[in-house]
Amino acid sequence: MSAGTRSFKDYVDDAGHMALYRAYQQRYARSIRESDRVLIEIIRALVAKRPRPGRPLRLLDVGCSTGNLLGHLKQALPGLALSGADIVSEVIAECRANPDLAGIQFDEMNVLNPPAAGSSFDLVVTNAALMFFDDDELGVALRHLGALAAPGGWFVAFDYFHPFEQRVALTETSRLHPHGLTFHLRPYGVMQRLLEEAGFESPAFRPFHLPIDLPPPSDPGQISSYTVSQQDGGRLCFRGTLYQPWCHLTAQRRR
């Protein structure tokens, strides 16, 4: 972690923060986020391409939080063997106790630590989990994700990726993050290099545009996503004053 910045983990002991974050996640446990809908369709297409190994394909969601994506995947693609991992032990305990997530394996994991040997997943997913890492940490995380992926397996991410040769690190200090939390908006080129070093090839980026309007929060102290319409009918997605270059990414583990 860069000097002077806080990581996501620093906020989990803050009851006020966790109450707000849980309320956010609970909203999307029942009604799926549009970005998760696209993520699931990407996974569906990759599953259809992957040769059948004679057992259910294994998928791991790293930074799974309350397991919303896994719950939706369980409904949409019931043939997958699903696992979730997160650095926060409390959310892992909650996931294990949640009857809607029965049958899914959950483990506490810090992706910045080397993974246990022997696990190999056909699909490794990170959903809004990489933007908190600086480039050095991201390199480490991707190498560990590469070690978790089976040769020929897929990495699927949803994060802040953009086509400009411009590194942006923005520290938000807000009601939700009173001690500051740094977000990294990453050029495709940086991701391509780090993915290559981590053993992945053929990266493909698909910028994500919300198909619905999200109203701005009426309270300026509430920092959440909202859309601004463009003349061509498209929508830009903001978080407070921060433009969010949301993007889906796929890359394949070298064989």
Rounded distance, CA 253 to CA 143, Å? 11
- If binding is defined by CB under 6 A, does position 112 make contact with ligand SAM? yes
**Rounded distance, CA 70 to CA 132, Å?**
21
Q: At its nearest, how many Å lie between ligand SAM and the CB of residue 87?
A: 4
Of residues 24-63, those binding ligand SAM (CB under 6 A): 62-63
Q: Which of 71, 86, 161, 252 binds ligand SAM (CB under 6 A)?
A: 86
Q: How far is the CB of 28 from ligand SAM (least distance, A)?
A: 7
Q: Kindly give, in sequence order, each residue whose CB lies less than 8 Å from that of residue 25, ignoring residues fewer than 6 positions away.
A: 65, 66, 68
Candidates 81-89, 180-188, 236-244, 246-254; binding stretch for ligand SAM (CB under 6 A): 81-89
Query: From the CB of 61, what's the least distance to ligand SAM, in Å?
Result: 7
* Residue that the structure tokens 């803050």 belong to: 14
Query: Does 94 contact ligand SAM by CB under 6 A?
Result: no
Cβ proximity to ligand SAM: between 80 and 128 the closer is 128
State yes or no: residue 247 binds ligand SAM (CB under 6 A). Answer: no
Rule CB under 6 A: choose which of 6, 8, 185, 223 binds ligand SAM. 8
- Which one of residues 127, 225, 250, 252 is an interface residue with ligand SAM (CB under 6 A)? 127
CA gap 76, 126 in Å, rounded: 18
CB atoms within 10 A of CB 75: 10
Q: Residue 130 and residue 7: Cα distance in Å, rounded?
A: 11
Binding flag, residue 20, ligand SAM (CB under 6 A)? no
Enumerate residues 163-192 that contact ligand SAM by CB under 6 A. Answer: none
- Of 149, 130, 248, 157, residue with least CA distance to 200: 149
User: Is 123 in contact with 60 (CB distance < 8 Å)?
Assistant: yes
Q: How many binding residues for ligand SAM (CB under 6 A)?
A: 17
Cβ-based nearer residue to ligand SAM, 42 or 128: 128
Query: Which residue intervals of the chain are DSSP H helices?
Result: 15-30, 34-49, 68-76, 89-97, 135-148, 188-197
Lay out the site mask for ligand SAM across 61-80 (x = CB under 6 A, - = otherwise). Answer: -xxxx---------------
End-to-end CA distance of the chain: 32
Binding site for ligand SAM (CB under 6 A): 8-9, 62-65, 86-88, 109-112, 127-129, 132
